[in-house]
Structure 1
Amino acid sequence: MILSPECVAPTGCMQGEAPLWSPSEGFLWWVDVRRAKLHRYNPKTGNTRRYDLPVKASSLALYGGHLLMAADREIGFFDPANEAYERLSILPDEPGSNRTSDGGVAPDGSFWFGTMDDAERDPSGVYYRYGEDKSVTLLRLPSVLVTKTLQFSPDGRTFYTCDTAEAEILAFDVHPETGALSGRRTFASTYDLGGLPYGSTVDSEGGLWVCLHGASRVVRYAPDGTLDKTIILAAPLPTGCAIGGQDMRTLFITTARTGLSFPQLDARPLSGSLFAVEVDVPGLAPRAFGKRETDR
């Protein structure tokens, strides 16, 4: 099945990423990594708002009315009410050429995120776990070039991630009590689809929606790795997706302009915009930082 989304916010982001649905507010949040901006979209009114950030945030999580952020080489939180940012922890061992990348909240309420070489030349990216006690723990996962997709299955027993440069999505078994990872395996390869895996989201049936950077597509994989839905975008560089809306059936998709030539931008002027499309399978309310799965 092929779906066609519409542009709902022509924001022209250089690198729009990390869409996050806030059920309590009815807003979609996302960032423009390159411009150090935070964006907000209200589906009821169609209005958008932009906030200036003192850091280049790359991933977001709900955190008690605030937004937890992985940014540059640190973790912080932003309060939209007064537009104040506070640093919580830094990553002292990260090379100066690295920055944070994608992230997501685990079933135990901790925030998992990755880092990457900002120039995308050196595979120096690693994975971290940020706990409610402000501890930052290095996860035992291989170093990568571009760290994307940090998602968990609805039951919390499978973890999905990828090194975009390898054009494959990995799956790991998650120990229900310790959170330890095992059983590394290739969940899906995107090589034959002509795009590189980027940001993603999981729906209520365990389907994994993945953005294919460079292919103008977002695809859905069933829990067994079977490709069963494809979305064609009017922008070649989809970067992230999240399911939200009043009935949790709207798939929001962020896109980028970075790396496109002027002729390419003339041909795809909506690059960098926010897109939306209705899907059959509803999504799940996002996990909030500091709340265990049983608290949802």
Structure 2
Amino acid sequence: MIVTPECVAPTGCALGEGPVWSPTEGFLWWVDIKRAKLHRYNPKTGNTRRYDLPIRASALALHDGCLLMAGDQEIGLYDPATEAYERWCTLSDEPETNRTNDGGIAPDGSFWFGTMDDREKDAQGGYFRLGPDRKLTQLRLPSVMVTNTMQFSPDGRTFYTCDSAEQEILAFDHDLETGTLTGRRLFASTYEFGGYPDGSAMDSEGCLWTCLWDASRVVRYRPDGSVDQVITLAAPRPTSCTFGGADLKTLFITTARVGMSFPALDSRPLSGSLFAIHVDVPGLPARGFGVGG
């Protein structure tokens, strides 16, 4: 089954990322990493708004009416109402060229996120956990080139992540009591599509929707790793996705235009836009930071 999303916000982001749906506001929030911008989309009016950020935020999470954000080499809290930013903690032992990348909320309310070499030359990206008590710890996972996807199955017992450069989606067994990860295994390879796995979203049936950079596709993978559905985009570099809308049946997809040649941009002018499509299976409600269960 192949369906086509529509562009709902032609924002021309250099590197659109980190979409999160706020059900209380009815807004979709996302960032443009390279330009240090925060974007907001209101589906009811079709209006967008852009905010300047003090960091190159790469991942967002909801927290007490504000946005928890990972960016550069730190974690902080941003209040869109006042445009005030509060730094919470910094990554003290990361390589100088590293920055944060994707992130997500675990079943216990902690914020999991990864880092990557911003030059995309060395496999020195790591994984971190920010607990509800704001304690930052590094997860014991192998270093990768580009960390992406921080998603958990509906029951919280499986953790999914991507080693983007290797075109692999990985799965781990997740202990709900201790947060320990075991049983590292290959969940799916994206080599057949010619794309690189980027950000993902989980639906209520336990299927993982993953954006494939350079393949113009978002793929729905069943829990056994098989392909169920493929969405094609008018932009070659989808970066991440999330579910929104009152029924959580709207899949929002962020895209990028960074690194594309002028001829490529001429042929794909909607690159960097926000896309949306109605799907049959709803997503999972966004967890807030510090809210377990």
Using structure 2 for the length normalisation, give the TM-score. 0.99
Q: 1:26 is matched with which residue?
A: 26
Q: 1:228 is matched with which residue?
A: 228
1:199 alignment partner AA: G
| SS of equivalent residue, structure 1 residue 88 | strand
Q: How far off is 1:132 after superposition? A: 1.8
- 1:129-175 residue CA offsets vs partner (Å, 9 max, x unmatched): 00122211010100010000110001100000011001010000001
1:110 alignment partner AA: S
Q: 1:165 is matched with which residue?
A: 165
Write the mapping of 1:170-249 to structure 2, written as runs, cut at 5 A: 170-249=170-249
1:250 alignment partner AA: T
| SS of equivalent residue, structure 1 residue 264 | helix
Q: 1:103 is matched with which residue?
A: 103
Q: 2:151 is matched with which residue?
A: 151
Unaligned runs of 5+ in 1: none
Q: 1:41 is matched with which residue?
A: 41
For residues 282 and 218 of structure 1, what CA distance do their matches in structure 2 show? 16
Q: 1:112 is matched with which residue?
A: 112
- 1:187-242 residue CA offsets vs partner (Å, 9 max, x unmatched): 00000111000000000111100000000000000111110100000000000000
The CA RMSD over aligned residues, in Å, is 0.5
Using structure 1 for the length normalisation, give the TM-score. 0.98
Q: 2:71 is matched with which residue?
A: 71
Write the mapping of 1:106-145 to structure 2, written as runs, cut at 5 A: 106-145=106-145
For residues 160 and 200 of structure 1, what CA distance do their matches in structure 2 show? 9
For residues 287 and 206 of structure 2, what CA distance do their matches in structure 1 show? 15
2:225 alignment partner AA: G
Q: How far off is 1:7 after superposition? A: 0.2
Q: 1:55 is matched with which residue?
A: 55
Task: State, as a whole percentage, how many aligned pairs show the same letter.
Answer: 71
1:12 aligned to 2:12? yes
How many residue pairs get matched? 293
Q: 1:256 is matched with which residue?
A: 256
For residues 176 and 83 of structure 1, what CA distance do their matches in structure 2 show? 35
For residues 110 and 90 of structure 2, what CA distance do their matches in structure 1 show? 16
| SS of equivalent residue, structure 1 residue 139 | strand
